[in-house]
A and B are shown apart, each in its own frame.
Chain A
Amino acid sequence: MEPDKEKILEAGYFYFQNQKFKKAIKIFEKGLSMFPNDIDIYYNLGIVYESINEIEKAKECFKKVLEIDRDNTDAKKHLEKLVNI
């Protein structure tokens, strides 16, 4: 049985909240292997990278979101901010 996406987001969220960033990244990466091109997971992964100042990796995630959903304003906002760093 595949776990549902909500569970992945919930788990990533939990680790992120507890500042276990590496664990959160692992969860989301695993999530992407099950739900490739999922914008919610990519977006959240981008936020984790951004919050630990992994700028290049964060940019890649937000770009990916925008490749799939061109009008995603949240991803756009974050990407614009990162480009200026």
Chain B
Amino acid sequence: MGEKKFFAVIGLGSFGYYVATKLAEKGYEVIAIDIDENKVDDISNKVTHAIQLNALDEKVLREVGLMDVDVAIIAIKDIATSILLSSFLKEDLKIKYVVAKASDQKHGKVLEKIGVDRIIYPELESADRLANNLISPSIFDIIELSSSHNLVEIKAPDIFVGKTLEEIDLRKRFDINIIAIKRNQPSTTETYKLSYEESIIISPSPKERIIEGDILVMVGLKEHLEKIEKL
């Protein structure tokens, strides 16, 4: 691993704010930028630098050293500003990795043309997640790995409980790999007050026995995974 990455987050609405504070919490250097002084004040003690400036002022952006960041995250609602800034960061400042939030597909298309490295649709993604969760309450998370493959986290179906991974043999039956098991381990506290600790078993062995409430993290073809979800 090289040096720690250096991030800039431009636009401190709720999305930008959460991204910036989360990265800072994880110990990364973060410059947070917004035109609104109040928003900058709110985040100033949570990130490395919080700067109030107009994101379209190219001269000032250079002055604050934006070209030195490894990753820039553009979380600006205004479509025109977001597009102009994306193109400036990518083409002029030559920032290695630019992530931009798109409000809709059209906005996303333009960002793609500019060469933005990653485009996110937070509303669409959370709507997707919620819809999936409502359809099947046993799904805790889905990440699309490619157009054909997903990574899903689902609650272990009852018929798996008590069996080992070898016995259920999902690899052979469905060509699905269980890459981790999230398990809550009962833990002791004082006077009969129950508690538990979350643990994660990465690359579980074939002898690992599934217990009730386990969350299985698995990778496979979408249609194969859907079969498991229905078990």
Contacts and interface: CB of A to CB of B under 8 A. Distances in A.
Please report whether the interface of chain A is mostly helix, strand, loop or mixed according to DSSP: helix
Nearest to B141: A85
Query: Which of A17, A52, A53, A85 is the most central at the interface, judged by chain B CB atoms within 10 Å of its CB?
Result: A53
Interface in A15-55: 16-19, 21-22, 40, 43-44, 47-48, 50-55
Query: Which of B184, B192, B215 is the most central at the interface, judged by chain A CB atoms within 10 Å of its CB?
Result: B192
A42 B167 CA distance: 36
A9 interface: yes
B205 interface: no
Given A19-B186, A85-B140, A47 B211 contact: no
Interface in B180-198: 184, 186, 188, 192-196
Given A16-B186, A19-B186, A53 B192 contact: no
A16 B185 CA distance: 9
B195 A47 contact: yes
6 contacts: A6-B192, A9-B192, A43-B193, A48-B194, A50-B184, A51-B186
Interface of B: 137, 140, 155, 184, 186, 188, 192-196, 211-213, 215
A-B CB proximity, top 10 nearest: A52-B213, A9-B192, A51-B184, A47-B194, A51-B196, A44-B194, A13-B192, A53-B213, A17-B186, A16-B186
